[in-house]
Amino acid sequence: MGKLRKKFGNVAAILGAQWGDEGKGKLIDIFAGEYDVVVRGTGGANAGHTIYPEKGKKVVFHLVPSGIFHPKNVAVLGNGMVIHFPTLFEEMEVLKKFHVKTKGRILISGNAHIVFEYHKKIDQILEEMKGGAKVGTTGRGIGPAYTDKIMRIGIRVSELENFKKFEEHFLTNLKLFQKMYGFHYDPSHELAWFKRHHNEIGEMLCDTNMFLGEVLEKKKSILLEGANGTHLDIDHGTYPYVTSSNATIGGLVTGTGIAPKHFKSIIGIVKAYVTRVGNGPFLTELTDSLGDQIREQGSEYGSTTGRPRRCGWFDAVIIRQSIRLNGLTSINLTKLDVLTNIPKLKICVSYKKKNTHAFYMPPTLDGYTPEYIEMPGWVEDISKARKFSDLPKNCQKYVQKIAELIKVPIHFIGVGQTRQEMIISG
Ligand code: IMP
């Protein structure tokens, strides 16, 4: 048994603790080498993880769990997901180019819902309608697909087993949405696509709940891959500027059917600063040239939409909240190297409103301002550091201060882009 599996147990979850894009892909990739199955439970092609399967080769996946590059790994798309199949097929084409076998290695829950092109149209219509109050969605049809699910009219993957019925359901829904939203759409191309591919999809269809249950019975290991980020959670995030699923640990429970008692570790991915794409409150945002510097140093452009990410100072309040919501047992601090060459760094320790101080996220952030401490920066290249003591003293102090504020052990520190550029403690 590998070192990580020994330390983090047979069932470990890795999820983002901020507003997404924390850099989950790298740790998931490292863990996946020791785990038998990697499963996603929520979201759809709004998520994006970047993996570097070979030196200098970058791939961005939106649907396939990151573990697929490890030959023994089985990737599961869980029941809580909403799946846009043409995107999945494009990703499978990329995998082919890297000679990665997918047959029997990608299993899809029949209970997951399908995202269609009309969902994207509705996403766009709703955003336009909201004007200045728009969420800034990824435009991938996520909200409308989850809306159908909750309205109990959604189309699940298992419906493809009877193509005729599937087609009827599709056309009924489309008619309803065209009435509701008044858009024109000729579905013949999309239906033809599903007609061509439904047998291939059928080969990946699986009772994933049964499969995962048997994996657990055999004492094999499962890695759960979170999507989006804690504060984009539909219940606990900065509503309405959130996604339409539960990006916190609860979503991984319901979205996979793995009972909470099995979870041995819940690892939070925390960027050494904060980013956010789309609209919504972000108290430590830097709207000046320093924000631009961090964006450039960190290549902070959306992996799904290419939009520039909003950047800001590390915020201990949102991390404390994430720890509370998810029961995080361990932290991976990512992209610490991006903060090199910034003379003074700020860390938000609490929020203030009149005479009150908030250490956890208040229900609304209106009227709150961040309270900072200042830390000296460093100029040394930290990408070669493999032990904590290799880091420059000021950098060590920055990490120690964060650890002190959030009170959960930081077991991993990312110091560069590649898999190797990681300090792993203990
Ligand atoms: P949706 O999930 O496309 O509906 O977008 C809702 C909000 O969540 C928008 O602000 C998106 O930018 C944001 N969002 C959704 N998924 C991700 C993600 O994986 N990373 C970062 N932001 C995301």
Q: Taking 80 as the threshold, does the pLDDT of residue 239 lie above it? A: yes
- pLDDT, residue 49, reads 82
- pLDDT, residue 41, reads 97
d(CA 119, CA 129): 15
Q: Which of 137, 148, 233 to mutate to test the pocket of ligand 1 (most atoms within 8 A of CB)?
A: 137
- pLDDT, residue 208, reads 97
The DSSP letter of residue 220 is -
SS3 226: coil
Asked which of 14-23, 41-50, 153-162, 243-252 is least confident by mean pLDDT, the reply is 41-50
Q: Taking 80 as the threshold, does the pLDDT of residue 426 lie above it? A: no
Residue 70 bears catalytic tag? no
Residue 123 bears catalytic tag? no
CA neighbor of 406 nearest in space, from 331, 326, 339, 313: 331
Centre of ligand 1 to C-alpha 45, Å, is 10
Q: Which atom of ligand 1 is nearest to the CA of 21?
A: 20
Query: Strands 113-114 and 330-334: what pairing?
Result: unpaired
Shortest-distance Cα residue to atom 10 of ligand 1: 278
Q: Which atom of ligand 1 is nearest to the CA of 48?
A: 19
Tens of pLDDT, residues 360-417: 999 999 999 999 999 999 999 999 999 999 999 999 999 999 999 999 999 999 999 8
Average pLDDT, stretch 201-208?
A: 97
Centre of ligand 1 to C-alpha 276, Å, is 9
Q: Which of 121, 138, 234 to mutate to test the pocket of ligand 1 (most atoms within 8 A of CB)?
A: 138
Q: Is the CB of 50 under 6 A from ligand 1?
A: no
What band does 161 get if pLDDT is binned at 50, 70 and 90?
A: very high
Q: What is the mean pLDDT of the chain?
A: 95
Q: Which of 126, 277, 307, 310 to mutate to test the pocket of ligand 1 (most atoms within 8 A of CB)?
A: 277
Q: Is the CB of 115 under 6 A from ligand 1?
A: no
What the block records as the tokens of 195 is 């007609």
Task: List, in order, residues 6 or more apart from 404 with CB less than 8 Å away.
Answer: none
d(CA 59, CA 80): 24
3-state helix, strand, coil in the chain (%, to 5): 40, 20, 40
Radius of gyration of the chain measured on its C-alpha atoms: 21
Bridge partners for 310 per DSSP = 276
Q: Which atom of ligand 1 is nearest to the CA of 142?
A: 4
Task: List, in order, residues 6 or more apart from 346 with CB less than 8 Å away.
Answer: 284, 313, 314, 372, 373, 374, 375
Tens of pLDDT, residues 276-318: 999 999 999 999 999 999 999 999 998 878 899 999 999 999 9
d(CA 275, CA 269): 13
SS3 18: coil
pLDDT above 90: percentage of residues in the chain: 91
- Note the maximum CA span of the chain: 66
- pLDDT, residue 114, reads 98
CA neighbor of 116 nearest in space, from 164, 171, 181, 165: 171
Q: Taking 90 as the threshold, does the pLDDT of residue 259 lie above it? A: yes
Tens of pLDDT, residues 46-72: 998 887 777 778 888 999 998 898 988
Question: Do 149 and 248 form a contact (C-beta atoms < 8 A)?
Answer: no
Shortest-distance Cα residue to atom 21 of ligand 1: 20
Centre of ligand 1 to C-alpha 39, Å, is 20
The CB density around residue 37, as the number of other CB atoms within 10 Å, is: 24
Tens of pLDDT, residues 80-89: 999 999 999 9
Centre of ligand 1 to C-alpha 200, Å, is 29
d(CA 107, CA 83): 12
| DSSP result, 169-217 | HHHHHHHHHHHHH-----THHHHHHHHHHHHHHHHHEE-HHHHHHHHHH
Q: Taking 80 as the threshold, does the pLDDT of residue 117 lie above it? A: yes
Q: Which of 36, 49, 123, 231 is catalytic?
A: 49
Centre of ligand 1 to C-alpha 58, Å, is 21
SS3 310: strand
Centre of ligand 1 to C-alpha 4, Å, is 30
Q: Is the CB of 230 under 6 A from ligand 1?
A: no
Instruction: Give the residue carrying structure tokens 């452009």.
Output: 301
d(CA 105, CA 43): 20
Q: Is the CB of 232 under 6 A from ligand 1?
A: yes
